[in-house]
Amino acid sequence: MKLVAGVDIGNATTETSIAKFYNDKKIEFISSGIVKTTGMKGTRQNIHGIFSSVKQALDKVGLSIEDLNLIRINEAAPVIGDVAMETITETIITESTMIGHNPSTPGGLGLGVGTTININNLHEISNKDPLIVIIPSTVDFMEASEKINREFNNGRNIVGAIVQRDDGVLINNRIFKKIPIVDEVTLSEKVPLGMRAAVEVAPVGGVVEVLSNPFGIATAFELTPEETKMIVPIARALIGNRSAVVIKTPKGDVQERIIPAGKINVTGEKRRKSIDVDEGAEEIMKTLEFCSPIKDISGEPGTNAGGMLERVRQVMANLTGQNPGAIKIQDILAVDTFVPQKVKGGLANEFSMENAVGIATMVKADKLQMQAIANELEKQLGVLVEVGGVEADMAIRGALTTPGTNVPLAIIDMGAGSTDASFMSKEKRNKSIHLAGAGNMVTLMINTELGLDDIDLAEDIKKYPLAKVESLFHVRHEDGTVQFFENPLDPKVFGKIVILKEGNMVPIPGDNTLERIKTVRRFAKEKIFVTNALRALTTVSATGNIRDIEYVVLVGGSALDFEIPQLITDALSKYGVVAGRANIRGTEGPRNAVASGLILSYRKEDDKNE
């Protein structure tokens, strides 16, 4: 009897399957284990995670490392995670000629255009030119309203106010003449005095119309056509806001430096082509298809695309000890997205949503590197360790243990960093593909598009459904159904959009609506998983036609997601394909496919040796 462990090193988790091989060729799976992957997939840092996963599986059945006869690890294709999954766009670095702001509680109504002045210096002005008063935090709402009313009586032409405190409504309720008042300007001391400014407040339920229009700003400030081009990010940042303030800074402040998005150079076995990132994700993916099969991908030097792809090579070279020139990029996934770009010179961290292209990158697998990991692990554990087959091929062997499956069969292995596919024909011939982009890329897009700056929160948004807490006794789920509670909910979640995570309600900060969060989440999953599923199946199909595949089994951690399998099933139903989530060995669900496949493929090799 032999005791064999199959270990699947993934981007997020390391999974183990333990089986007994009897002399009569019988095989018995006895245990499985799963832990977080240590280090980047396909590097020596994985060894600790491999040990922990194997030990966890052995502990469940009262066995130890010494009882093992063999450990088989997968040929892990490294996927650069955080470094490669970036958004690329043209970067314009500007000390802006304009400053914008949008508080939640403005006062008054209308548009006021005038010269900025500190409220304490109003007595120094003798003319009747229009004025925008700056009210610092040292002046409370009572004092401010008294001073404004007094100056109204003295004939001062006050047409708007910028307030540091949250006093806009309080001041508006106490002055004789209604003017637009923008408050919560925390950096009011940085507002230049004696400069032309515009303040606009829309009615309740309305949005600013003049200051969200580049030509409206140009009219208010008498800008030249060239200056109008410069204020487009400010106008875009203020679209949809109820209030805004825009101030012209002193002449000569404008400094602009453009870092272009750049070109991506794709080198295939027979064709080579360059594509500008500005042309969008669809054109980039068409270029990849045109040059397939891919030998290497690089970026234009001195651009955002070039910098990202070279960092990929450098990071992988540092981790593996190889020369950066020897690192080959096997695949990229490009997705159109939006990124919030901070408006330079803003008073309250204003952002403008800019078009961008999200990129996930896969580095070509190096079997020699995996062999080095196997040798090191063997030395540390004193157990024979060998590198098994390609991940996708191992996954299909594991997937065939799902009750109700048979060849011809295709699998889609959806992990954290990559989407792999394999097809096994009736003649047991395999064809497989590894593609960049999976769960981590979805998390990145959610984090970026919603402006969260919290990758853990974005991961939760990806994995769990949403609800809106409408009272202390009921919530409305994202599908519109209402749930009532006997006991009051935590007041901290009242009125919030929450993530329904394992029986808890996790509030999501910010002003994003439930519908927007849901839309961003589904869009990210569709763009990455559905796109990669169709790419992968087209590649592994014997004829290049998905319709020739009858059954598709979904495996991997992302197959556990509450909506990804349905999205892929819906997409494949158009091709007449039966698709569903796997249940490996009838017990493991969609997990453990590769680890189980490593065990099953060893049985075939063992039979050959005899």
Buried/exposed 585-597: b ≥16 CB within 10 Å, e otherwise = beebbbbbbbbbb
Mean pLDDT, residues 219-228 taken together: 87
**pLDDT per position as a tens digit, 513-539:** 999 999 999 999 999 999 999 999 999
Which pLDDT score is estimated for 336?
A: 84
pLDDT band at 233 (very low <50, low <70, confident <90, very high): confident
Beta strands in 300-440 (DSSP E): 329-342, 351-363, 385-390, 409-414, 418-424, 430-436
Q: Report d(CA 432, CA 543) in Å as an integer.
A: 14
Strand partners, 504: 501
Query: Comparing C-alpha atoms, which of 326, 406, 401, 393 is closest to residue 366?
Result: 326
**pLDDT per position as a tens digit, 430-489:** 888 888 889 988 998 899 888 888 999 999 999 999 999 999 999 999 999 999 999 999
- Decide if 157 contacts 130 (C-beta within 8 A): yes
Q: Which of 303-307, 342-346, 498-502 has the lowest mean pLDDT?
A: 342-346
Tokens describing residue 357: 């292209």
Backbone angles phi, psi at 28, to 5 degrees: -130, 115
Query: Comparing C-alpha atoms, which of 351, 380, 297 is closest to residue 46?
Result: 380
Q: Report d(CA 440, CA 443) in Å as an integer.
A: 5
Q: Report d(CA 489, CA 494) in Å as an integer.
A: 8
pLDDT band at 97 (very low <50, low <70, confident <90, very high): very low
Q: Report d(CA 333, CA 440) in Å as an integer.
A: 12
- Decide if 25 contacts 39 (C-beta within 8 A): no
Higher-pLDDT residue of 241, 329: 329
Which pLDDT score is estimated for 102?
A: 63
Which CATH number applies to 451-513? Answer: 2.40.50.140
Which CATH number applies to 259-343? Answer: 3.90.470.30
Token look-up 């990129």 returns 359
Q: The domain at 96-254 falls in which architecture?
A: 3-Layer(bba) Sandwich (3.50)
Q: Which stretches within 196-272 are classed as H helix?
A: 214-221, 225-230, 232-237
Tokens describing residue 124: 């120094």
Question: How many residues in the chain?
Answer: 610
Which pLDDT score is estimated for 101?
A: 62
**DSSP single-letter state for residue 107:** B
Query: Comparing C-alpha atoms, which of 61, 12, 73, 25 is closest to residue 413?
Result: 12
> How many Cβ atoms are within 10 Å of 51's Cβ, its own excluded?
19
Mean pLDDT, residues 572-579 taken together: 89
Asked whether the predicted pLDDT for residue 99 surpasses 60, the reply is no
CB contact set of 495 (below 8 Å; sequence gap of 6+): 469, 470
Q: Which of 49-58, 181-190, 564-573 has the lowest mean pLDDT?
A: 181-190
Which pLDDT score is estimated for 124?
A: 83
Residue type, 492: K
Strand partners, 160: 132
- According to the CATH classification, is domain 1-77+366-399+586-610 in 3.30.420.40? yes
> How many Cβ atoms are within 10 Å of 2's Cβ, its own excluded?
14
- Integer CA distances (angstroms), 434 to 83, 176, 386, 405, in order: 19, 70, 21, 23
Query: Comparing C-alpha atoms, which of 528, 510, 200, 478 is closest to residue 340?
Result: 510
**pLDDT per position as a tens digit, 55-94:** 999 999 999 999 999 999 998 655 553 333 444 544 443 3
Residue type, 243: S
Sign of CA dihedral 220, 225, 228, 230: negative
Q: Report d(CA 181, CA 357) in Å as an integer.
A: 38
Mean pLDDT, residues 125-154 taken together: 91
Mean pLDDT, residues 191-218 taken together: 88
**DSSP single-letter state for residue 324:** G
Backbone angles phi, psi at 444, to 5 degrees: -60, -45
Q: Report d(CA 123, CA 131) in Å as an integer.
A: 12
pLDDT band at 47 (very low <50, low <70, confident <90, very high): very high
3-state secondary structure 79-96: EECCCCCEEECCEEEECC
What is the reported pTM?
Answer: 0.72
Give the domain ranges of the chain. 1-77+366-399+586-610, 96-254, 259-343, 451-513
Which pLDDT score is estimated for 92?
A: 40
| 3-class secondary-structure state, position 279 | helix
Q: Report d(CA 348, CA 166) in Å as an integer.
A: 13
Strand partners, 132: 116, 160
Terminal CA-to-CA distance of the chain, rounded, Å?
15
Which pLDDT score is estimated for 82?
A: 35
